[in-house]
């Protein structure tokens, strides 16, 4: 359904934009219909940058993103609107997605003016009520409130309901539940699991491995802007091949920290070749180590 092909993002950094930072480097993977794909990596590995390119909030430096075979970078006007009907994002910090001086109803008003301008107001409000109930909210308790009068979990659900009003096919969920307290987390996770049952595809961006495992069919492990391992979640989690994945899995409690020191004795060989090391090696390729399980190794 959505395909990332050799996607690269270079940011200009430093004074007078003199520096270059390759935040995403030649990343390719597919998000299949009705599947949850977890994009997992430490802080700064390029996860949000990928999410933002998918949502067209950032331009692509090189490579392509295709939805059902079609390159999305040139979409404009009505076509872009159509794209946003199919692909929507929900981000980490629900508070930052709202303007504090407006009631939350404005989220729905904006949506109506762009996508449903011709719909009769009472029909529209019926639709809003239906999706709010679907995400477990009581419309009478939500509408008419200001963001500060609602909890993080409620605001998060409103954003999900917004995506549902558009009947999206793909939801980009960037650290969606990291900010929520434990009990709300489970509710929102269950909501995502329900939506998945209804056929929604989700790109689940997280640095929390257990969340990635809980929800997804497919996992993509990102390290310094490179995909180092990917495939069926159970295969990647129970038979990790790349030293970075092994390291991630063995240091779950400290996952949000950066590690600069990766010991070389972690590095095993695959098919006679060393695993790709983004710090040392210039080039790599993905090899299939078992069905539906790929690992980055040094290019011959
Ligand atoms: N607009 C920008 N300009 C310059 N550099 C940027 C910009 N946005 C992100 N970066 C850099 O790109 C790299 C990847 O950032 P990104 O936000 O994608 O990481 P992330 O994996 O989402 O991390 P986190 O888990 O902390 O959210 C980081 O080094 C970051 O500093
Ligand atoms: Mg991020």
Domain boundaries, the chain: 2-101+169-184+196-298
Residue 265 has a pLDDT of 44
Residue 181 has a pLDDT of 72
Residue 68 has a pLDDT of 93
Both tokens assigned to 171: 């939801």
Separation of CA 174 and ligand 2 centre (Å): 7
pLDDT tens-digit map of 93-145: 767 778 888 999 998 998 899 888 899 999 999 999 988 988 888 999 999 99
Residue 266 has a pLDDT of 54
Separation of CA 46 and ligand 1 centre (Å): 6
Which ligand 1 atom is nearest residue 13's CA?
4
- Give the residue, out of 4, 12, 19, 23, with the most ligand 1 atoms within 8 A of its beta carbon, to mutate for a pocket test: 23
Q: Between β-strands 226-232 and 293-298, what pairing exists: parallel, antiparallel or unpaired? A: antiparallel
Both tokens assigned to 38: 């977890």
Lining ligand 1 with CB less than 6 A are: 11, 13, 21, 23, 41, 43-49, 207
Length of the chain: 300
Nearest ligand, CA of residue 54?
1
Q: What is the DSSP-derived secondary structure letter of residue 275?
A: B
On the CB side of 300, CA atoms within 13 Å amount to 5
Residue 272 has a pLDDT of 78
Please tell me the distance from the alpha carbon of residue 223 to that of residue 272, in angstroms, as a whole number. Answer: 22
Please tell me the distance from the alpha carbon of residue 127 to that of residue 145, in angstroms, as a whole number. Answer: 19
Residues of the chain with pLDDT below 70 are: 94, 179-180, 251-268
Please tell me the distance from the alpha carbon of residue 161 to that of residue 88, in angstroms, as a whole number. Answer: 11
pTM, two decimals, is 0.87
Separation of CA 23 and ligand 1 centre (Å): 7
Query: From the centroid of its chain, how far is CA 214?
Result: 15
Which ligand 1 atom is nearest residue 256's CA?
25
Domain 2-101+169-184+196-298 belongs to what topology? Rossmann fold (3.40.50)
């Amino acid at each position: 359904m959505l395909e990332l092909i050799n996607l690269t993002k270079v940011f200009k950094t430093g004074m007078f934009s003199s520096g270059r930072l390759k935040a995403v480097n030649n990343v390719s993977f597919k998000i299949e219909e009705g599947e949850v794909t977890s994009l997992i990596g430490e802080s700064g590995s390029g996860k949000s940058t990928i999410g933002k390119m998918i949502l067209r909030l950032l331009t692509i430096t090189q490579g392509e993103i295709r939805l059902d075979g079609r390159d999305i970078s040139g979409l404009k006007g009505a076509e872009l609107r159509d794209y946003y009907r199919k692909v929507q994002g929900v981000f980490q910090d629900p508070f930052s997605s709202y303007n504090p001086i407006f009631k939350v109803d404005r989220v729905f008003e904006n949506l109506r003016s762009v996508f449903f301008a011709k719909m009769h107001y009472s029909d529209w409000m019926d639709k809003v009520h239906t999706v709010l109930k679907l995400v477990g909210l009581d419309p009478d308790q939500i509408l008419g409130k200001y963001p500060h009068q609602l909890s993080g979990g409620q605001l998060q659900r409103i954003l999900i309901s917004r995506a549902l009003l558009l009947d999206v096919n793909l939801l980009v969920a960037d650290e969606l539940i990291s900010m929520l307290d434990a009990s709300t987390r489970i509710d929102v996770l269950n909501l995502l699991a329900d939506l998945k049952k209804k056929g929604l595809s989700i790109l689940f961006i997280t640095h929390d491995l257990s969340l990635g495992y809980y929800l997804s069919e497919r996992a993509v492990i990102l390290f310094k802007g490179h995909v180092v391992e990917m495939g069926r979640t159970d295969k990647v989690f129970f038979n990790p091949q790349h030293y970075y994945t092994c390291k991630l899995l063995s240091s779950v409690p400290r996952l949000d920290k950066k590690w600069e020191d990766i010991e070389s004795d972690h590095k095993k060989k695959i098919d006679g070749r060393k695993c790709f090391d983004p710090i040392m090696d210039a080039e790599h390729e993905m090899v299939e180590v078992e069905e539906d399980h790929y690992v980055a190794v040094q290019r011959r």
